[in-house]
Amino acid sequence: MAEKDSPILVWFRLDLRLDDNPALCRAVESGKPVVPVFIWSPEDDGNWPPGGASRWWLHHSLASLAGSLPQRGSRLIFRVGSAAGILDDLVRETGASAVYWNRRYEPDLVNRDARIKKMLRGQNVEVMSHNGNLLFEPHATRNKAGGPFKVFSPFWKHCSQREVGDPFTIGDRRIPSPAKWPGSVRLEDLSLLPTVDWAAEFPAWWTPGESEARRRLDDFLSGPVGDYSEERNYPARDGVSRLSPHLHFGEIGPRRLFAGAQGKLKRARSGSGRAGISKFLAEVGWREFAHHLLYHYPDTSENPLRPEFSRFPWRRDRASLTAWRKGETGYPIVDAGMRQLWRTGWMHNRVRMIAGSFLVKDLLLPWREGARWFWDTLVDADLASNTLGWQWVAGCGADAAPYFRVFNPVLQGKKFDVDGDYIRQWIPELKELPGKWIHCPWDAPKDVLDAAGILPGKTYPTPIIDHHEARLRALRAFETIKKL
C-alpha cells in the first residue's frame, strides 16, 4: 500500500465526539484515509473497570457516535480485547502508518499507553497522542517550587493566568475513508447494557451523545448559569448544568465548554450573572485539579493522600453499609440522595457531600466503600473526581475538609431543602409530612405521623444512629491517629 494511501487509526476512548477532537482533527487534516476505532478493554483499567451505570451510558454514547460518523462518510469499528493486541491486529489488517489518540490520565492507562506507544513505534508506526480531555495537562502544571499543587485556590489561580487554546474543529468536512474497511463486531457484542434492567428509568433523565451535550450546554449558558453560585446548593432546583457525564465521556470537550462560558462572561454585565459564570468555571477547575492530583499521586484511588489516615480505625458494619446504599438510614436528606442515585445514576453535588459525610463520619465506614458504590452507580463516575470527592469528605486528601467538620444531616436538609421538596420527590412515603417535621420525622407527634400515614420503623426507618453520638465517636477516632 502506498504511503499516501495508508490509513490513520483514530482510537476513540473518553472522547466520543467529532467536535473539538484533536486526534480526529489532525488525522482528517492529513488527507489520509481515517479508520475510527473503539476498543472495549475493561481489563486494561486495572482495579477500576467501568461500573454498571457507566457501561449503560457508554453503550448509548457509542451508538450516538456510530450514528453520526456515516453522515461524514465514515464508520466506527468496534473491537473487544486487550488494546495493545487489537491495535497490533488493526495495523496489520489495514496497513495503517499511524495511530492517533487523545490522552487519558488514569495511572493504569498512562502506563498501558506508554507500552503501546513503544510497541507501535518499534514497528515504524507513527504514534501521536493529544490533549483532548483537559484544559491543562497535569505534567505541564507545576507550582513555584516545581512540584504538584495540593491546594485548589493556588492551582486554579495559576491555571487562570494561562491561555486556553481554541476548540479543534473539522467543520463540515467529510472524513476520508479507506479503500477497504476492517472487520467489526456489533455494538451489542460489547455487552454493556445490564441484563437485569435496573437502569429502566435512566432514559427519562438522560440522553447520551454529542448533540445532547451541546444542547445542554447552550441551555445552561442561556439560563441558570447566571445564578449558579447560589442555586447550585439547592437540590430541588434546576440550578446545575448536569453536564458531568457528557464531559466525562468526552461528548463535549473542555475547550468548547470553557469557550462558551468565557464568551458568556464577556457579554455579562458587571455584577449581573458574572459571579455565577465564574463559579461554574471554577467547578471546571475542580475537575482539572482532580486529574492533576491523581496523575501526580497515582495510588490515591486506593490509599489516602495523608498517610496518617492509613491507621484510621474504620468500622466494619455490613448492615449499616447496606442501609446507606439503599437509602434506608432514617435521615431523609441522606436517603433521598441515595435513592436519586439508584434511580437516575446521578446525585446532586450538595447531597453527595452530605451522604458522603454520613458514611465516613456518622457511620465511621471506610471512604473506599463509598467510592466503590459511587463508581458503580454514577453515570458520571470519573476516577479522578471520585477519588478527590471521597478523600475530601473523609478529610484524608488534598485541600480536604477538616475531619472535625461533620455535616449534620438535619441542619443541612433544613438549610438546602427548606420546604422538603427534594425529600418528597425521592421519598414518597414522607410526602404528606409537614415541612416542620420532614427533616426529622422521628420528632413528629404521633397525630402528625398518623395523618401522614407514617409508621416509624415500618413505612420509613427510624435513624440507624444518633447523629450527636456519632459525631463524638468520629472525633474520638480522629484523636487516635493524631496521637500516633
The residues that are catalytic are: 283, 286, 314, 349, 367, 390
Task: Fill in the DSSP letter of residue 456.
Answer: B
- Lookup result for grid cell 486495572: 46
Residue 248: which of 110, 346, 149 has the closest Cα? 346
| Cell numbers standing for residue 255 | 475547550
**Is 238 exposed, middle or buried (CB count within 10 Å of its CB: 0-12, 13-18, 19+)?**
exposed
The count of residues in the chain is 484
Three-state DSSP class for residue 283: helix
Query: By C-alpha distance, which of 92, 82, 96, 83 is closest to 34?
Result: 96
Measured at the CA of 205, the angle between CA 263 and CA 262, to 5 degrees, comes to: 10
Q: In 95-125, where does DSSP find H-type helix?
A: 107-122
**Alpha-carbon span 103 to 137, nearest angstrom:** 10
Pair 374, 382: CB distance under 8 Å: no
Query: What are the respective helix, strand and coil percentages of the chain, to the nearest 5?
Result: 50, 5, 40
Tally of CB atoms within 10 A around 50 = 18
Pairing between β-strand 98-102 and β-strand 8-12 as defined by DSSP bridges: parallel
Q: What is the largest CA-CA distance in the chain?
A: 85
Sign of CA dihedral 465, 471, 476, 478: positive
